[in-house]
Chain A
Amino acid sequence: MVPTTYYIALSAVLFGLGVLAFIFKRNIITIFMSIELMLNAVNLAFVAFSQRTGKLDGQIFVLFVIIVAAAEAAVGLGIIILIARNRQSLNVERVDLLKL
């Protein structure tokens, strides 16, 4: 059996890469995808803990996270379409209406 620590370490690495992508990407769609990557990393940790403790609650949480991610993707992509239509650009640097 693979030790749970390995799964959690992989989850931490994937989450860190998601944070890096979130910070460094300039395209708003790619930034949104890095959020999905972070959610996936958390899901991996949930399933690993569920396997370790022998209880299924962790897997239920994963299902709820996936449902919320689907809803979030629908609304987020709607907002992205709106931004692209109003700004003619997908670069987040151009979306600076609230910047001082």
Chain B
Amino acid sequence: MSAQLLVFFILAALSVIGALSLIFQKHPIHSALSLIVVMVALAGLYLLMGAEFVAAVQIIVYGGAIMVLFVFVIMLLNAGLEEHTSISKMAGFPGILLALALTGFVAATVARSAGLFVQVAGDNGKIPGTLSSTRELSNMIFRNFAYPFELTSILILIAILGAIVLAHREN
């Protein structure tokens, strides 16, 4: 019971530190490495919640493929230190305020509806926290969500073609 909470707090602290590091690092490659820390910590949280398949996909696709793409582009463009231009006051002050207000609003909504979760969980008779079967997940993807799943392959194909067309150097 408390061991799970301990793991949660360690991983949560790791992810928040990684996100803060993403903001405060000056070099894009350091920001990218911080983002990888966030993603690995989130994968650990998914494991804690019993979503093994999502955790594996998070590591492979996010931590592997997408971040490699980012690091590759950073190296390709030889991105250096971030230039310092003065942040306009119009963006700065309301920006902080807006982000804080957003966080507070979401947190308040969650806190207010905390009792709702228990009610929903009681409805379908399952014990929450013990789902996590990859077999059930695959059944759902290939039966209930087969059509959207096939559509995503077309989306990926179009994205690859678009990326090639965009990055292609014309003579």
Task: Answer yes or no: are A and B bound together in one complex.
Answer: yes
- The residues of A with any CB-CB pair to B shorter than 8 Å are 1-21, 23-27, 29-30, 32-34, 36-37, 40, 43-44, 47-48, 50-57, 59-60, 62-64, 66-75, 77-82, 84-85, 89-91, 93
**Count of chain B residues with Cβ under 8 Å from any Cβ of A?**
87
Assess the A77–B19 pair: CB atoms within 8 A: no
7 pairs, CB–CB < 8 Å, chain A vs chain B? A1-B1, A5-B117, A8-B110, A29-B70, A51-B128, A70-B65, A81-B73
Assess the A15–B110 pair: CB atoms within 8 A: no
CB < 8 Å: which of A3, A43, A57, A78 contacts B42? A43
B77: chain A residues at CB < 8 Å are 29, 80-81, 84, 90
The chain B residue with its CB closest to the CB of A77 is B73
B32: chain A residues at CB < 8 Å are 29, 33
Main secondary structure of the interface of A (DSSP, over half): helix
CB distance from A13 to the nearest CB of B (A): 6
CB < 8 Å: which of B20, B39, B124 contacts A55? B124
A23: chain B residues at CB < 8 Å are 91-92, 95, 98-99
User: In the docked arrangement, what's the CA distance between A71 and B100, Å?
Assistant: 30
Assess the A36–B106 pair: CB atoms within 8 A: no
Assess the B4–A79 pair: CB atoms within 8 A: no
Assess the B114–A5 pair: CB atoms within 8 A: yes
CB distance from A12 to the nearest CB of B (A): 4
